[in-house]
Amino acid sequence: VNQFDPETTQALKHLLLATADDEFVIGYWDSEWTGIAPVLEEDVAFASLAQDEIGHAQALYQLLANLEGRGDPDTIAYGRPPEGYRHARLLDHPRTDWAFSVARRFLYDTADAARLDALAGSSYEPLAGVVAKMRREERYHLLHMHAWVERLATGGEEPRARLAAALERLWPDALCVLDGIDGDGVLAEAGVLAEPMAAIRRRWLAGLAPELARLGLPAPPAAPTGACRGPGRSDDFRWLWEQLTMVRRSDPEAVW
Amino acid sequence: MQVYEVFRREREGGPMQHAGNLLAPDAELARHYAREFYGRRQESVRLWIVPRSAILDLDDPDLLQPPFDRSFKKPAGYSTEIKAKLAAARARAGEGEVR
Amino acid sequence: MQVYEVFRREREGGPMQHAGNLLAPDAELARHYAREFYGRRQESVRLWIVPRSAILDLDDPDLLQPPFDRSFKKPAGYSTEIKAKLAAARARAGEGEVR
Amino acid sequence: MSESERVQQFNRHVASGGKVEATDWMPEEYRQAVCRFVEMHANSELMGVLPEREWILRAPTLKRKLALSAKVQDEVGHAQLLYRVAEDLGKPRQAMLADLLAGRTKFHNVFHYPTHSWADVGIIAWLVDAAAIVAQQALRESSYAPYGRTMKKICWEESVHILHGRDVVLTMMNGTARQRALVQDALERWWGPLMQMHGPRTDPAKDRDLAWRIKNKDNETLRQEFLTVYVPRIREIGLEPPDPELGQDDTGRWHYTEPDWKELYAVVTGHGPKSAERLELRRLHYAETQWVRDTVMAAPLAA
């Protein structure tokens, strides 16, 4: 039985796909640091964060497959052309350098936390269940990324300059993590989301403002501009897509 | 007075293991009491005496027992699948399957 | 970077056992890294993380009387210095010469 | 007690199964031997990351992506654990990394070779890790106690890697004919390095590391153990190692074409097919992140 009308169900599918793709793509980008991070101890920690996101993506793709009554997490995750992915523009950037990855991770995890807060009491029970687990695992992400932003911001001229430059570059795209969801108003009315995306975004930015001010870090621009979640994708993401689908495309009937 | 946690090595080569704690006004007496209670009578090979205030305690279940499946990090994530796939692969190989 | 020793408890009620050590610039990251090295497989229910500098190490065979003779392990003069400290501590504890 | 008397007592102690801790007195020769042995092991774990790391972005399913990333993460963890053991013997981690990146110290032969397909990921995780664990299980009884204790944790984690690798290979053998061919091809490329991995036969009497029980089994014993367990498991699923001489005599002893020890020597002295490229990649990443180690990692958080 489907508890929502067709329009709300369509918006819910779009929300699930967009959120799952966010987790999937950042999980892939950040897994590139595995084996080459600045210090062995941090290498192991950052690899855990990336693995967690892949686990979250898997759970969200499963919800989408259940809702659509077909497919499975692997076919959804790996079975589309680059233009078929709905992740936020923030995740179209490559790994770049450590300060860039820390800044992106910080912006993403804090935005994701605001999104998860807005989904915690969701009227779509299966999603509320997955979100409850995600919020527990995201606590460590937030602890770790706040710790890193604090250390880069106060760690001397070079770390601070690199962090500030990365935040300056990423802010416009970071706003897209809490934008570009067609039908978010309908989802709020149906209680799937606690409030529309624009309100969640304001709550996220208000939450960050004191820390950014205390550390003297760049503040966000007014509002996102341009397409937030494709279909146009960066060359960097197309390179990543080539990598993550390479083995599957090499033998379509194969079993992996 | 401060609480000191005491760890001891029972047998050579073994790991240090928490044995208990004691109250002492300072490190010297803590070492002395630890030697008396955990060293001589229990024939320890080695003792570590640590002021409890220096210990960072971590028991947060969100950090240590996160809810999503991590069977891919444990034997249980593979053993059942391997049993079934091994049988199939042996059957295939056994039929004189020409590669 | 400082060395932190890590102790872990595998299941409720079990002992805190030394598991290893790691490098970290400060306590907060030491906690995160301890979680990573001794908890990323959900294998611990509790961790104690201790800066190595806070540990009082007592492993002098003369003082602990372990069940075997390992006197060769200690360079000459080591135990005399510790013995002097312990004698002072014993005096302060008002126990006078024991045995 | 005279110095030589102390050394004799020490030698008797370790020969009889006695243990040595980081803060114990030990002959300088023993300290150097253990430090070198553990450093080479740590280098191998760190360099061993690179061949498989290329496939973390190419894992074909979500489970394989998680499993491979967790395996490579474990190897980074093993490098950390082992560099810590070696560092407590007196050689700072930066000095060990500098020597590795400058080619002054070595790492295992198998990590100097290229990977060609996802089948390599299965063969490496299954057979290369299996050959390694045969040697590493013996190290759990090392006379140097911190190394022995660390090896218990490392061996447990390696056992999961072997299951992951075997699962990848079995899945491909049950898949398409093309997948089976990829696995056989990978086995043929990795068989030479695998047979060289435990090293040439040595006279146990002359092996200092054995005398001090830093390690407990000689090279040929380890190779025989590996063949005894894994050749049947390879053949039972339709794969065949590329050595017509490979077989057991009636005492159960394996005979095989003599491994190419000249290739082994060339490879471990940095002349393998991927030696230079991988060391250069490590140097590049190490240099790119030097600023993080010089600042954030160098001092506690500003109060």
For chain A, give every domain's residue range.
8-219+230-250
Distances (CA, A) of C97 to A235, B22, C91, C92, C94: 80, 22, 8, 11, 9
Residues 6+ apart with CB under 8 A from D102: none
Reading the block at residue D227, the tokens are: 């063949």
The answer to whether residue A125 neighbours chain D at the CB level (below 8 Å) is no
Q: How many CB pairs under 8 A join C and D?
A: 47
The reply to whether residue B47 touches residue C57, judged by beta carbons under 8 angstroms, is: yes
Cis-peptide into B15, omega within 30 deg: no
Candidate from A39, A140, A147 with C-beta closest to C28: A147
Residue ranges of domains in chain D: 9-294
What residues of B are in contact with residue A56 (Cβ under 8 Å)? 68
Distances (CA, A) of A97 to A4, A163, A238, C33: 44, 10, 19, 21
Q: Is the pLDDT of residue C81 over 70?
A: no
Q: How far is CA A172 from the centre of its chain?
A: 15
> Helix crossing, B27-34 with C78-92: angle to 10°?
100
A134 SS3 class: helix
Structural domains of chain B ordered from first start: 2-54 (3.10.20.520)
* pLDDT score of D1: 75
**C61 versus C36: which is more confidently predicted?**
C36
The pLDDT mean for chain C works out to: 84
Please name every residue paired with B4 in a beta bridge, in sequence order, or none if there are none.
Answer: B22, B51
- Taking the C-alpha atoms of residue A106 and residue A193, their distance in angstroms, rounded to an integer, is 23
The reply to whether residue B68 touches residue A137, judged by beta carbons under 8 angstroms, is: yes
User: Do A178 and A200 form a contact (C-beta atoms < 8 A)?
Assistant: yes
Q: Hey, what amino acid is at D8? A: Q
Please name every residue paired with C56 in a beta bridge, in sequence order, or none if there are none.
Answer: B49
User: B10, B23, B32, B36: best mutation site toward chain C, by most C Cβ within 10 Å?
Assistant: B32
Reading the block at residue D22, the tokens are: 């980081």
Q: How far is CA A176 from the centre of its chain?
A: 10
- Taking the C-alpha atoms of residue A133 and residue D277, their distance in angstroms, rounded to an integer, is 42
* pLDDT score of C85: 74
Residues 53 to 82 of D: which have CB under 8 A from any B CB? Answer: 63, 66-67, 70
Candidate from A45, A140, A143 with C-beta closest to C33: A45
Taking residue A66's Cβ as centre, other Cβ atoms within 10 Å add up to 13
Cis-peptide into D259, omega within 30 deg: no
* pLDDT score of D216: 86
Chain A neighbours, 3+ Cβ pairs < 8 A: B, C, D
User: Do D125 and D286 form a contact (C-beta atoms < 8 A)?
Assistant: no
The pTM of the full predicted model, rounded to 2 decimals, is: 0.95
What residues of D are in contact with residue B99 (Cβ under 8 Å)? 177, 180-181, 184, 238
The end-to-end CA distance of chain B, in Å, is 76
- Taking the C-alpha atoms of residue B85 and residue D126, their distance in angstroms, rounded to an integer, is 15
Distance from CA of D91 to the nearest CA of C (A): 14
> Helix crossing, C27-39 with A125-154: angle to 10°?
140
The reply to whether residue C33 touches residue A140, judged by beta carbons under 8 angstroms, is: no
- Taking the C-alpha atoms of residue A117 and residue A114, their distance in angstroms, rounded to an integer, is 5
Q: How far is CA A11 from the centre of its chain?
A: 18
The reply to whether residue A256 touches residue D175, judged by beta carbons under 8 angstroms, is: yes
Q: Hey, what amino acid is at D213? A: R
The reply to whether residue A137 touches residue B67, judged by beta carbons under 8 angstroms, is: yes
Distance from CA of D183 to the nearest CA of C (A): 30
What ipTM did this prediction achieve?
0.95
C9 SS3 class: strand
Residues 6+ apart with CB under 8 A from C72: D1, D5, D6, D9, D10, D13, D25
User: B68, B69, B71, B73: best mutation site toward chain A, by most A Cβ within 10 Å?
Assistant: B68
- Taking the C-alpha atoms of residue C18 and residue C21, their distance in angstroms, rounded to an integer, is 9
The reply to whether residue D236 touches residue B72, judged by beta carbons under 8 angstroms, is: no
User: Do D279 and D101 form a contact (C-beta atoms < 8 A)?
Assistant: yes
What residues of D are in contact with residue A97 (Cβ under 8 Å)? 288
What residues of B are in contact with residue D18 (Cβ under 8 Å)? 12
- Taking the C-alpha atoms of residue D138 and residue D178, their distance in angstroms, rounded to an integer, is 38
User: Do A131 and A119 form a contact (C-beta atoms < 8 A)?
Assistant: yes
The CATH number of the structural domain formed by A8-219+230-250 is: 1.20.1260.10
What residues of D are in contact with residue B92 (Cβ under 8 Å)? 173-174, 237-238
Candidate from D13, D84, D301 with C-beta closest to C22: D84
- Taking the C-alpha atoms of residue B78 and residue B76, their distance in angstroms, rounded to an integer, is 5
* Candidate CATH numbers 1.20.1260.10, 1.10.150.120, 3.40.920.10, 1.20.140.160; the one for domain D9-294: 1.20.1260.10
Residue corresponding to tokens 């003082």: C63
The reply to whether residue A136 touches residue B69, judged by beta carbons under 8 angstroms, is: no
What phi and psi values does residue A132 have, to the nearest 5 degrees?
-60, -40
Chain B neighbours, 3+ Cβ pairs < 8 A: A, C, D
What residues of A are in contact with residue B69 (Cβ under 8 Å)? 55
pLDDT truncated to tens, each residue of chain D (303 aa)? 788 999 999 999 999 999 999 999 999 999 999 999 999 999 999 999 999 999 999 999 999 999 999 999 999 999 999 999 999 999 999 999 999 999 999 999 999 999 999 999 999 999 999 999 999 998 999 999 999 999 999 999 999 999 999 999 999 999 999 999 999 999 999 999 999 999 999 888 888 888 888 888 999 999 999 999 999 999 999 999 999 999 999 999 999 999 999 999 999 999 999 999 999 999 999 999 999 999 999 989 876
Burial zone of D227 (CB within 10 Å; 0-12 exposed, 13-18 middle, 19+ buried): buried
- Taking the C-alpha atoms of residue A165 and residue C99, their distance in angstroms, rounded to an integer, is 70
- Taking the C-alpha atoms of residue D47 and residue D75, their distance in angstroms, rounded to an integer, is 9
Residues 68 to 87 of A: which have CB under 8 A from any D CB? Answer: 73-74, 77-78
> Looking at chain C, which residue has its C-alpha nearest residue D146?
C20
* pLDDT score of C94: 73
Q: What is the mean pLDDT of residues C44-48?
A: 98
What phi-psi label fits residue D103: left (phi over 0), alpha (psi between -120 and 50 degrees) or beta?
left
Q: Hey, what amino acid is at D67? A: A
What residues of A are in contact with residue D49 (Cβ under 8 Å)? 34-35
Q: How far is CA A104 from the centre of its chain?
A: 10
User: Do A30 and A105 form a contact (C-beta atoms < 8 A)?
Assistant: yes
> Of how many residues is chain B composed?
99
User: D178, D237, D240: best mutation site toward chain B, by most B Cβ within 10 Å?
Assistant: D237
The reply to whether residue B99 touches residue D184, judged by beta carbons under 8 angstroms, is: yes
Which pairing describes strands C46-51 and B2-9: parallel, antiparallel, or unpaired?
unpaired
SS (H, E, C) D118-165: HHHHHHHHHHHHHHHHHHHHHHCCCCEHHHHHHHHHHHHHHHHHHHHH
Residues 6+ apart with CB under 8 A from A237: A25, A82, A85, A91, A92
- Taking the C-alpha atoms of residue D175 and residue A180, their distance in angstroms, rounded to an integer, is 40
DSSP 8-class letter at A76: H
Distances (CA, A) of D77 to A34, C15, C37: 11, 24, 7
* pLDDT score of C97: 47
Q: Is the pLDDT of residue B99 over 50?
A: no
The H-assigned helical ranges of chain A are 6-31, 40-68, 73-78, 98-119, 125-154, 157-174, 184-189, 197-215, 235-250
* pLDDT score of A173: 97
Candidate from D160, D167, D236 with C-beta closest to B85: D167
- Taking the C-alpha atoms of residue D8 and residue C91, their distance in angstroms, rounded to an integer, is 39
Distances (CA, A) of C60 to B46, C55, C69, D145: 7, 15, 11, 17
What residues of C are in contact with residue A34 (Cβ under 8 Å)? none
- Per run of 10 residues, the mean pLDDT along chain A (length 256 residues) is 89 98 98 97 98 98 96 97 98 97 98 98 98 98 98 96 98 97 97 98 97 97 88 97 97 95
User: Do B75 and B69 form a contact (C-beta atoms < 8 A)?
Assistant: no
Q: Which of D269, D238, D45, D290 is nearest to D154 (CA)?
A: D45
* pLDDT score of B11: 87
The reply to whether residue B68 touches residue A55, judged by beta carbons under 8 angstroms, is: yes
The reply to whether residue C32 touches residue A39, judged by beta carbons under 8 angstroms, is: no
* pLDDT score of C80: 66
> Looking at chain B, which residue has its C-alpha nearest residue D19?
B13
